[in-house]
Amino acid sequence: MRHISLGAFLVTASLLLVTGCSPSAPAPSGTPNGGAAPVAPATGKADTGKMTDDIFVELSAQEMYHDGIDPEAWGASGGGRDRLYARYGVTAEQASAFAESIGKNGGYDRAIQLMDRVDKRLKELQAGK
């Protein structure tokens, strides 16, 4: 049996919720468009913008790290979360659409690989790197 850290488990569980294992889960309050990602009319494909696996790993690890330190400052409008997304040139909606695509385009194995990377990066942040 494979063991993963609590951080990786939490992110994986979040991913599974986002990717459809719990379609009745409500969108987070205050999310534009009810948390739904914009859909490009021509293709029907959700807009993931500049999101890549590397950006996803960094955003996820930073989210977990900073949300655990000062969630109010991190999530405030114009706060750390907004600045982090702007630094990578992506929106929360694009990150959400990318997270959804992980389950659809790579399945559980890809999600576990990414969560292992998120967990490693989170440990680096906690160590001050």
53-69 and 80-88 helices, crossing angle to 10°: 170
Pick 114 or 39 by higher pLDDT.
Answer: 114
- 46 - beta bridge partners? 39
Instruction: Place 14 in a pLDDT band, splitting at 50, 70 and 90.
Output: low
Instruction: Place 127 in a pLDDT band, splitting at 50, 70 and 90.
Output: very high
Q: Note if the pTM is more than 0.75.
A: no
The predicted-structure confidence for 41-95, as pLDDT tens digits, reads as follows 334 567 889 999 999 999 999 999 998 888 888 888 888 888 999 999 999 899 9
Does residue 104 come out as left (phi exceeding 0), alpha (psi in the -120 to 50 range) or beta? alpha
